[in-house]
Amino acid sequence: MSDARIDRLEDSSVVAGPEAYFTGRVRTEGRFAAPEPARLRGVTVTFEPGARTAWHTHPLGQTLIITAGVGWIQVEGASRKTVRVGDRIWFPPEVRHWHGATATSAMTHLALQEARDGSNVTWMEHVSDAEYDPTSHK
C-alpha cells in the first residue's frame, strides 16, 4: 500500500488565467490532479470584477463551490444566475456554460471536474460583453 500524497499550499503557484480561455483578470491557484486511476482534478480560481471564463464543457460535468465574493453562471439557453459564498453548482456532462465575477464584485471558486481520456474541459469561444451582462448593453 502506498502512502497518502500531500500537495502543500506553499508549493503551489498562482498563475494568470490564459487569455485564450478567460476574459479579464483571472488567477488560478492550487491546481491538482489525482493520480490514475483516479480522474479528479481541481483548481481555485479568482475572477476580478468583469472577468469570466469562455464558453466550455466538461466531459463528466463540473462542480463549483463559491468561496468568496459574488459571481454569475450561465448555461447555454438559460438565464444568467447569481451565485454567492457557500453556493455549490453542478454543471452536467457536456453542457455548454460559463462562469465568473459580476461586473462589480470579485468571485473565487473551487472548481472540481473529472477527466475522461486525459481531458477535463473543452474550451470554446469567449463570452461576449452582451452575453456576459445584457443589462449594460441596451
pTM of the full predicted structure? 0.91
Burial letters for 34-68: b for 16+ Cβ neighbours within 10 Å, e otherwise? Answer: eeeeebebbbbbbbebbbbbbbbbbbeebbbbbee
* Residue 31 burial (C-beta neighbours within 10 Å; 0-12, 13-18, 19+): middle
* CA dihedral for 78, 79, 80, 83, sign (positive or negative): negative
In the numeric block, the cell 470579485 is attached to: 106
Which of helix, strand or coil describes residue 105? coil
Band of the pLDDT at 137, cuts 50, 70, 90?
low
> How large a percentage of the chain has pLDDT more than 70?
98
**Whole-number pLDDT of residue 8:** 78
User: Considering only CA atoms, which of 92, 70, 94 is closest in space to residue 81?
Assistant: 70
Q: Which stretch of 17-21, 31-35, 87-91 has the lowest confidence by average pLDDT?
A: 31-35
How many angstroms separate the CA atoms of 106 and 97, rounded?
Answer: 19
**Whole-number pLDDT of residue 135:** 81
Mean per-residue pLDDT for 107-131? Answer: 95
Mean per-residue pLDDT for 67-88? Answer: 97
Q: Averaging pLDDT over each range in 2-11, 30-39, 62-71, 109-118, which range is the top one?
A: 62-71
Query: Rounded to a whole number, what is the largest CA-CA distance in the chain?
Result: 61
How many angstroms separate the CA atoms of 73 and 52, rounded?
Answer: 9
The mean pLDDT of the chain is 92
